Amino acid sequence: MTRPESTTIAFVQPFVPSYRRGLFDAIGRGLSSEGLDLEVWHDQPKGIVASRRNAITGPWSVPIKQHRLTVRRRNVTFRNIGGRARQVKAVVAGLASSNLETYRLALDPSVNLMLWGHGRNFTAGNNSVDERLENWLIGRSTHVFTYTDRGAQHLAASGVPVEKISVVRNSTDTVALRAAQASVEPGFAATTASELSLTPGQVGLFVGAFDEPKRLPFLFAAADRIHERLPGFTLVLAGAGPLDDYVRDETAKRPYTRLVGRLELPELGRMSTVVDVILMPGRVGLVAVDALALGVPLATTRYPFHAPEVDYLNDDNAIWTDDSLEAYAEGVIDVLARPDRLGELKTTARRDGDGFSAEQSAQVFVDGILSGLREGGSHASSSKRAGSSEAQTR
């Protein structure tokens, strides 16, 4: 008896953070309309990552185990998913040289492999060995998804056919976020400002993981300078992570700070009605999308290791400064002291936020997956043989 052909598209993830729920829900709906099913194969976070307390599961979740190893001072990950991968229609795996199982999938002619990632290393120095390994994986895949145009341009410059690349414009669930913002009852902002002793027009929000890439010591030092010049300034901190104790200690020293814990999407939408700027001097990622969607200008620095989503920000919708305490504090002070300029930034940010949604990103995924299925069919052997030759000559 012939086994029915699978209709399952499987995404492989280390874990699923809460901000990905809207995206995977939308991908699931889009695939369903094409007669396909979504599975997300993932483990639960451990160690430092678990301290962020943002892992979720969904109706598409399929639990797997992943193992982290250190090989010559390099952290690598292995997931034993080869058997599963041969049973599904396609696998969308992370484009990362450190995922060992992806090499097995790339070599298996019965697996239609697609890849999803930055397109280049934005958050650390580029490594030529990593880039060659990732190019080899791309050569044996049927489609590649990048977060931004810059990642796609980098791949195209390295020889990847442009028709094989889709730019998803990485996004959070901006529709739900804006709905939460719009749903606040009359008087909420005034009540919250009173409860937290906030001065309207002088409230900064940090939102994200309490970890080293966010440069929290820089944030507190800059906030001190801002408060010296604007005594009504308040810094609200929302998040969790391995530096919880550090943040708690630093806020205890500063009467102008407020620690409010993690904010899920509805809470962030509501909080956005009482803050004026989002302060992120360290690594900026998807918070850029949240800031634009909410119409709250994000203030950051020309830090060299931002995530690719920082490309969504410019001088008209965000506050950019040189990477120094003095420049950052002055940049924020200048905007908070000029309500007209703050208003212009808010208006432009919200307008630019119209271009992002989980639904739009999901449709790019669905279209790219369909393209990859046409390229590789249910068996990607011919594509992989061609890709192997291409990778050797690139």
Show the CA angle centred on residue 56, arms to residues 55 and 57, nearest 5°.
Answer: 140
Q: 216-229 vs 325-336: helix axis angle to the nearest 10?
A: 50
- Using left for φ > 0, alpha for ψ between -120 and 50, and beta otherwise, residue 208 falls in left
pLDDT surpasses 70 at 243: yes
CB 41, CB 13: distance < 8 Å:
yes
SS3 148: coil
Interval 321-363: pLDDT, tens: 999 999 999 999 999 999 999 999 999 999 999 999 999 999 9
Q: Write a three-state SS string for 151-211.
A: HHHHHHHCCCCHHHEEECCCCCCHHHHHHHHHCCCCCHHHHHHHHCCCCCCCEEEEEEECC
Q: What percent of the chain has pLDDT over 90?
A: 85
pLDDT surpasses 70 at 365: yes
Interval 27-53: pLDDT, tens: 999 999 999 999 999 999 988 889 888
Alpha helices in the chain (DSSP H): 21-32, 47-50, 82-85, 100-107, 128-139, 149-157, 174-182, 188-195, 216-229, 244-252, 265-271, 287-294, 325-336, 339-353, 358-376, 381-393
Average pLDDT of the chain is: 92
What count of other Cβ atoms lies within 10 Å of the Cβ of residue 343? 11
pLDDT surpasses 50 at 278: yes
Query: Using CA atoms, how far apart are residues 302 and 317, in angstroms rounded to an integer?
Result: 15
For residue 382, the model assigns a pLDDT of: 46
| Of the candidates 339, 337, 310, the residue with the CA atom closest to the CA atom of residue 323 | 310
Interval 292-332: pLDDT, tens: 999 999 999 999 999 999 999 999 999 999 999 999 999 99
**Terminus-to-terminus CA distance in the chain, angstroms?**
43
For residue 304, the model assigns a pLDDT of: 94
- 8-171+357-393 against 174-353: fold identical: yes
| Of the candidates 383, 368, 379, 374, the residue with the CA atom closest to the CA atom of residue 6 | 379
Architecture of domain 174-353: 3-Layer(aba) Sandwich (3.40)
pTM higher than 0.75 = yes
Q: For residue 116, give the H/E element and its range.
A: strand 113-117
pLDDT surpasses 50 at 2: no
Place of tokens 């990778």: 391
Answer CATH for 8-171+357-393 from 3.30.1380.10, 3.40.50.2000, 3.40.50.10140, 3.30.360.10? 3.40.50.2000
pLDDT surpasses 60 at 393: no
CB 98, CB 127: distance < 8 Å:
no
For residue 205, the model assigns a pLDDT of: 99
For residue 119, the model assigns a pLDDT of: 86
Bridge-partner residues for 334, per DSSP?
none
pLDDT surpasses 80 at 206: yes
User: Where are the chain's structural domains?
Assistant: 8-171+357-393, 174-353
Query: Using CA atoms, how far apart are residues 338 and 92, in angstroms rounded to an integer?
Result: 47
For residue 130, the model assigns a pLDDT of: 86
Token pair listed for 72? 């010559």
Query: Using CA atoms, how far apart are residues 138 and 342, in angstroms rounded to an integer?
Result: 44
Interval 132-177: pLDDT, tens: 999 999 999 999 999 999 999 999 999 999 999 999 999 999 999 9
CB 95, CB 139: distance < 8 Å:
no
Q: Which of 180-184, 230-234, 357-361, 389-393 has the lowest mean pLDDT?
A: 389-393
Query: Using CA atoms, how far apart are residues 270 and 195, in angstroms rounded to an integer?
Result: 14
